[in-house]
Amino acid sequence: MKDIANLALAGHEPLFDSILPVGQLYSPSKERFHSVFHDLFDRRYYTNHGKLAQELERRLEERLDVRNAVVVTNATLGLSLSCKALGLPPQGKVIVPAFTFAATVQALTWAGLEPVFCDISNKSHNLDPQKVAALLEQHDVCAILGVHLWGNPCDIEQLQTLADSKGIPLFFDAAHAIACRYHGKPIGNFGACEVFSFHATKIMNATEGGCITTNDDELAERLRNLRSSYGRRKNVKTPIDGYGRFSEAQAAFGLLSLEDLSRRCDENCQKMALYHKKLSCIPGIHCISPAPEENMNYQYVVLEIDEKEFGLSRDALQKLLEAENVIARRYFVPGMHHCPPYETLFPEFATALPVTDALCTKVLQLPSGAPVSMDAVSRICECIAFVQANSADIKRTYFA
């Protein structure tokens, strides 16, 4: 790009012919899917904890080195089922970050619980243990729900100490964190239980789906009972039935996705490294790096844009990129404490989360999944560098 008139926002052709989304969208080939799926037509056993769902659970237990993997319809339901299996009381209060996907908090609401929104650490974007400790003193809390955002593990050790000090369960939304580790141990082994998402936009794709993992066999049995009458090992009492079945079609897709998981992590890693190499020298751009000593899945390329240094706002950059067919996203804006129904139900949190609110003005994710080649990454970075170098002109011409 040589001239700001060549920007798609100015009416020029976009940089890319088709859109580049943030979602991972990795899928197995049609042929491989068929090879796993075809005998379903003969077996005519489509759901109710069939052969493929059982095999997927076994492989997940192996891969994550955890005693129990319970696959369910999706992660949101998995979180709600976890609340029920943990026996959290009606209207109980649960500490949760507001800087997360809506489903984390909505799963609590569906389970009849109330969120107590907690601020996060500026550095990790995860629950800040000091702020958790303060909230534990102010509220009668029955559980802590952490989110391993962008696949970066929470400060699990400190959170567990806090939960233990109150005798309440800690559990995790691990929707971003499959194939990630904490102190060398796979995510999936921490807290009372952890919940993964296999939504098509996540690195492990079962089209839809989720999985709850736990090393607590009794909790696992309650989860299996909540899920469906199929797949139970023994009947145990649960407060309500959950219907979180996982179909054989989901399992077929999921098995192949799990087979490919390490390769996808490597591909993502290469793209992230290239992004970081090319973007970190641009004024006003700060790349969020994964925890260095941990294995990661690198599925989210996350930036913070400093408007003053960059010369344009995060929102202006997003608009410019969108015109080029680069669909960058502002996850998770606004924070859940500013979203319905919570903003009216719990107005006391409106000004209580300064780090979350500041981050919400800066954060941006770039495309990195299957539709994005290494060459595309280079071109996206060059476009951003061009925008920054010409930010004053662009601001005057298009954003005055």
Ligand X SMILES: *Cc1c(COP(=O)(O)O)cnc(C)c1O
197 scored as a contact of ligand X (CB under 6 A): yes
Q: Residue 373: enclosing H or E segment and its boundaries?
A: none
User: Are 231 and 194 a contacting pair, CB within 8 Å?
Assistant: no
Cα separation, 170 vs 191, whole angstroms: 5
Shortest distance, position 100 Cβ to ligand X, whole Å: 5
The nearer residue to ligand X, 101 or 275, going by C-beta atoms, is 101
- By the 10 Å C-beta count (0-12 exposed, 13-18 middle, 19+ buried), 17 is classed as exposed
Query: Site mask, ligand X, residues 274-293, x = CB under 6 A?
Result: --------------------
Shortest distance, position 202 Cβ to ligand X, whole Å: 6
Q: Strand 114-118 to strand 93-97: parallel, antiparallel, or no bridges (unpaired)? A: parallel
Shortest distance, position 195 Cβ to ligand X, whole Å: 8
User: Are 127 and 97 a contacting pair, CB within 8 Å?
Assistant: yes
Q: Among 8, 36, 71, 75, indicate the residue that binds ligand X (CB under 6 A).
A: 75
Q: Among 125, 199, 264, 278, indicate the residue that binds ligand X (CB under 6 A).
A: 199
175 scored as a contact of ligand X (CB under 6 A): yes
Shortest distance, position 392 Cβ to ligand X, whole Å: 36
Check residue 47 and give left, alpha or beta (phi > 0: left; psi -120 to 50: alpha).
Answer: beta
The nearer residue to ligand X, 300 or 349, going by C-beta atoms, is 300
Shortest distance, position 199 Cβ to ligand X, whole Å: 4
The CA distances from residue 48 to 87, 96, 237, 241, in Å, are 25, 32, 20, 15
Q: Tell me which stretch binds ligand X (CB under 6 A): 72-80, 244-252, 304-312, 365-373.
A: 72-80
147 scored as a contact of ligand X (CB under 6 A): yes
Task: Please give the DSSP secondary-structure letter assigned to residue 283.
Answer: T
Q: Among 70, 103, 282, 328, indicate the residue that binds ligand X (CB under 6 A).
A: 103
Q: Among 210, 231, 242, 311, indicate the residue that binds ligand X (CB under 6 A).
A: 210
117 scored as a contact of ligand X (CB under 6 A): no
Q: Give the residue from 291, 69, 61 showing the smallest Cα distance to 184.
A: 291
173 scored as a contact of ligand X (CB under 6 A): yes
Cβ within 8 Å of residue 335, ≥6 positions away: 98, 99, 117, 353, 356, 357, 360
State the CB neighbour count (10 A cutoff) for residue 340.
8
176 scored as a contact of ligand X (CB under 6 A): yes
Q: 33 is written with which tokens?
A: 């899917």
- Preceding peptide of 334 cis, ω within 30°: yes
Shortest distance, position 183 Cβ to ligand X, whole Å: 22
The nearer residue to ligand X, 7 or 154, going by C-beta atoms, is 154
Interface with ligand X (CB under 6 A): 74-76, 100-101, 103-104, 147, 173, 175-176, 197, 199, 210
